[in-house]
């Protein structure tokens, strides 16, 4: 069995990538299982998805803690302790990172492959943030057991169900072909499969309401939930031209912009999610959009 784990952000097509990869494995004659794991979050929040592909029946369920392949669609997640994309990786784990760079320490510990999917996606589908076809093509090629025609059939089926235009579909198919021809298959070490054992039954107890119900008695603590790591783009105020109209302060949906004692707007980057509404609403266009980059040198 091959266990693949995919990491990215909300809106980047990570769930669809796992579905395409699972369908491609199924079309190639394997058993397949795929599913995402995310909460009631928004675009930009860390997202994780899983795909299992096997010659035999898949009896495992739940998240993959020890993956054979890890696909990272956004390099800024590498040093994010909340998403922890390398958690559970072993020296034999094959890791792909959407980046032009590889941290030296990471390449010494693991088998790492990189490619600039961001630019390839822009060339083929005019988007720098949707990696569904690209990341699934990487996974299929790294496994070395999925045929190109099966991958293309999976891309077409999944994206057609989502109602993409014929032009966008052709762009995704072209993107998958190029990546499949560029990435080389990886050597994935076979692991000793441990037999599955049944867990003992758990009998729930009837407890008093205060003990058994999810009653929260503590005061609100949302300020402690720092959502700045959701950003793909960050707003930066040009203070040389800012006239302190404070429309950005009024329009910020998360209250992440405050007013300094001197009347200037200040952005709280610990909580700014990068929605860029402030940049769109600024009458003088004095708020610049800057792309967040990787956190490793």
The pLDDT of residue 96 is: 94
% the chain with pLDDT above 90 = 63
Mean pLDDT is lowest, of 50-54, 80-84, 138-142, 235-239, for 80-84
Residues 6+ apart with CB under 8 A from 262: none
Residue 236 has pLDDT above 90, yes or no: yes
**Structural domains of the chain in order of their starting residue, each with its CATH number:** 2-182 (3.40.920.10), 225-291 (3.30.70.20)
What does each C-alpha distance from 195 to 55, 60, 198, 203 come to in angstroms?
Answer: 16, 11, 10, 25
Mean pLDDT is lowest, of 65-79, 134-148, 203-217, for 203-217
Residue 247 backbone phi and psi in degrees, to 5 = -65, -35
Residue 295 has pLDDT above 60, yes or no: no
What does each C-alpha distance from 238 to 13, 203, 255 come to in angstroms?
Answer: 33, 61, 19
Model pLDDT for residues 18-61, shown as the tens digit of each residue: 999 999 999 999 999 999 987 766 778 899 999 999 999 998 88
The pLDDT of residue 41 is: 62
Residue 175 has pLDDT above 70, yes or no: yes
d(CA 154, CA 135) in angstroms, rounded, equals: 13
The pLDDT of residue 205 is: 82
Residue 50: which of 25, 28, 27, 75 has the closest Cα? 25
Judged by phi (left if over 0) then psi (alpha if -120 to 50, else beta), residue 186 lies in beta
The pLDDT of residue 40 is: 61
Residue 115 backbone phi and psi in degrees, to 5 = -160, 150
The predicted model gives 219-241 an average pLDDT of 88
The predicted model gives 206-218 an average pLDDT of 79
Residue 149 has pLDDT above 90, yes or no: yes
Residue 95 backbone phi and psi in degrees, to 5 = -120, 130
Mean pLDDT is lowest, of 52-66, 192-206, 231-245, for 192-206
Q: How buried is 287 (Cβ within 10 angstroms: 0-12 exposed, 13-18 middle, 19+ buried)?
A: buried
What does each C-alpha distance from 273 to 28, 47, 53 come to in angstroms?
Answer: 40, 15, 35
Residue 282 has pLDDT above 90, yes or no: yes
The predicted model gives 237-244 an average pLDDT of 95
Burial track 112-135 (b if 16+ CB lie within 10 A, e otherwise): bbbbebbebbeebbeeebbbbbbb
Handedness of CA 156, 162, 165, 168 (dihedral sign): negative
Host H or E run for residue 8? strand 2-9
pLDDT tier at 171 (50, 70, 90 boundaries)?
very high
The pLDDT of residue 297 is: 44
Model pLDDT for residues 87-131, shown as the tens digit of each residue: 998 888 999 999 887 767 677 778 888 899 999 999 999 998 899
The predicted model gives 199-227 an average pLDDT of 82
The predicted model gives 62-82 an average pLDDT of 90
The predicted model gives 186-201 an average pLDDT of 78
The pLDDT of residue 164 is: 92
pLDDT tier at 265 (50, 70, 90 boundaries)?
very high
Whole-number mean pLDDT of the chain? 89
What is the pTM assigned to this prediction? Answer: 0.77
Alpha helices in 144-230 (DSSP H): 148-161, 166-182, 209-212
């Amino acid at each position: 069995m091959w266990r693949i784990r995919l990491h990215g952000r909300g809106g980047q097509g990570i769930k669809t990538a796992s579905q395409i990869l699972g369908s491609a494995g199924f079309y190639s004659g394997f058993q397949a299982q795929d599913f995402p794991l995310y909460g009631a979050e928004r675009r930009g929040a860390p997202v994780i998805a899983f795909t299992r592909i096997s010659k035999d029946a898949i009896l495992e369920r739940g998240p993959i803690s020890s993956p054979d392949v890890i696909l990272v669609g956004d390099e800024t997640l590498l040093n994010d302790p909340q998403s922890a994309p390398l958690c559970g990786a072993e020296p034999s784990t094959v890791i792909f990172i959407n980046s032009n760079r590889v941290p030296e320490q990471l390449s010494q510990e693991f088998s790492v492959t990189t490619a600039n999917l961001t630019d390839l996606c822009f060339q083929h589908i005019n988007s720098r943030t949707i990696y569904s076809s690209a990341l699934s093509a990487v996974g299929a090629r790294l496994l070395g057991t999925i045929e190109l025609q099966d991958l293309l059939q999976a891309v077409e089926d999944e994206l057609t169900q989502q109602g993409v235009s014929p032009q966008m579909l052709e762009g995704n198919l072209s993107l998958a072909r190029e990546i499949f021809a560029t990435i080389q298959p990886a050597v994935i070490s076979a692991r000793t499969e441990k037999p599955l054992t049944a867990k003992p039954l758990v009998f729930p107890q009837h407890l008093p309401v205060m003990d058994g119900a999810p009653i929260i008695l503590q005061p609100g603590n949302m300020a402690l939930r720092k959502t700045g790591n959701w950003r793909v783009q960050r707003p930066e105020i040009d203070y040389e031209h800012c006239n302190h109209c404070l429309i950005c302060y009024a329009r910020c949906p998360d209250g992440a912009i405050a007013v300094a004692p001197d009347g200037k707007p200040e952005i709280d980057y610990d909580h700014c999610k990068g929605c860029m509404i402030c940049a769109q609403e600024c009458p003088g266009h004095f708020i610049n959009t800057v792309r967040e980059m990787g956190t490793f040198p």
